[in-house]
Amino acid sequence: MLTRTFAINTHLPRFWHGAACAAALAFSALLGTAAHAATAVTTVPGMPPVLNPANLYSESGADAFSPAVKGALQRVYVPNIRSDDVYVIDPATFKVLYKFKVGRSPQHIVPSWDLKTLWVTNNAEGRNDGSLTPIDPMTGKPGEAVAVDDPYNMYFTPDGKEAIVVAEAFARLDFRDAHTMALKSRLEVPGCKGINHADFSIDGRYAIFTCEFGGRLAKIDMVNRKVLGYLQLDKRTGMPQDVRVSPDGKVFYVADMMADGVFLIDGDSFTKIGFIHTGPGTHGLYPSRDGTRLYVTNRGSHRIHGARRGKGSVSVIDYATRKVVANWPIPGGGSPDMGNVNADGSVLWLSGRFDDVVYAIDTHTGKVRTIKVGMEPHGLTVWPQPGRYSLGHTGIMR
């Protein structure tokens, strides 16, 4: 658990002094403790506690690093699907340092639950010769790949004991040892064609996965390892992509590439409660470091393999109002896809999937820097990131 220190304001009015000041501060602390106790979250066994029920991202705020990432190199790791390699960028200079080969069709760079390994998911486009390539974040170098079936994406159980390999082509979740990747069990999800992205409830009891080619969602009981049900978003045109839960854990935001926006889902009742229009080809979702806003990538195309220089943009949603408060187009057109926010929250790093580039976007101004990389970059990650543990993908940090 991270240890934090908080500064007390010493510039108080003159009558706030001595015992009066101490009493006021004690009373304030008591109220805060009572408020947190009243809304305490009972998590699944082994899951770290939710320290702030109003903001489950509180422990992944700006520069709130775990001791586990001490010494990790500051890098951006970019998997390129068609060139079967990973480009490594120095975020300080915005330059590519080097690249290395991995397995066939690398899709995402996934931080492990314990923050000590970055896994490249090489899904071989649905073949049986997929693999996971480990990267040591202390050296930035790859290790020996582990053979697994179709690892399009990967998550971790909230207790950190098992990895959840999303075998998209087989509509299946493979639960593996979080360190050795030895297979432990499998869960068939037959009603979820194109299963790929997910996020977890605030207590870790269930997860919601998107079914890209079925226009629906699947709710998974993480305790009993079973499918709880499916929710259809749009029977004709839906193509759900990324998922992120709101800071208070009540609403799941689901990007839909065909609907050009974000569906709002009540996780507990598993019902649609709203929709926010953002832009063409809505795809990736990334919370700001302070947990007040959600960055939404609009890929600029409804096609899986879109054209270069499309109408790509990034929309910014305010969590409190559930409204778009900013929209940043990619100058000259582009295809912002997947990535994450850097440690202090000042830069949003995204792959430009159809344009073979990476975008570094200033989160204050929306200004875009472009870096050339390999062929069809996808789920890049920025490392190190703040947080106590990772639930997977490109860094779902808690």
Question: Is 220 domain-assigned?
Answer: yes
Q: Is residue 252 one of the residues assigned to a domain?
A: yes
Predicted confidence (pLDDT) at residue 129 exceeds the cutoff of 90: no
Residue 229 lies in a domain: yes
Report yes or no on 152 lying in a domain: yes
Could you give the percent of the chain with pLDDT greater than 70?
A: 90
What pLDDT does 128 receive? 73
Q: Give the pLDDT confidence score for residue 126 in this predicted structure.
A: 66
33-50, pLDDT tens digit by residue? 444 444 799 999 999 999
Average of per-residue pLDDT across 102-108: 97
- The pair of structure tokens assigned to 21 is 């000041």
The answer to whether the beta carbons of residues 240 and 256 sit under 8 Å apart is: yes
Residue 181 maps to which CATH number? 2.130.10.10
Structural domain count of the chain: 1
Lowest model confidence (mean pLDDT) among 18-27, 108-117, 282-291: 18-27
- Residue 261 structural domain: 59-285+375-383
23 confidence band (pLDDT: 50, 70, 90):
very low
Q: Is the pLDDT of residue 267 over 70?
A: yes
- What tens digit of pLDDT does each residue of 341-396 get? 999 999 999 999 999 999 999 999 999 999 999 999 999 999 999 999 999 999 99
Sign of the dihedral defined by the CA atoms of residues 391, 239, 272, 206, in that order: negative
Q: Is residue 379 part of a domain?
A: yes
- Report DSSP state, residue 356: T
Task: For residue range 205-215, list pLDDT tens digits in order.
Answer: 999 999 999 99
* Structural domain includes residue 8: no
> Which position has the higher pLDDT, 260 or 20?
260
Asked whether residue 388 is domain-assigned, the answer is no
291 belongs to a structural domain: no
Mean pLDDT value across residues 131-151: 97
- Which residues does 362 contact at the CB level (< 8 Å), separation at least 6? 346, 347, 368
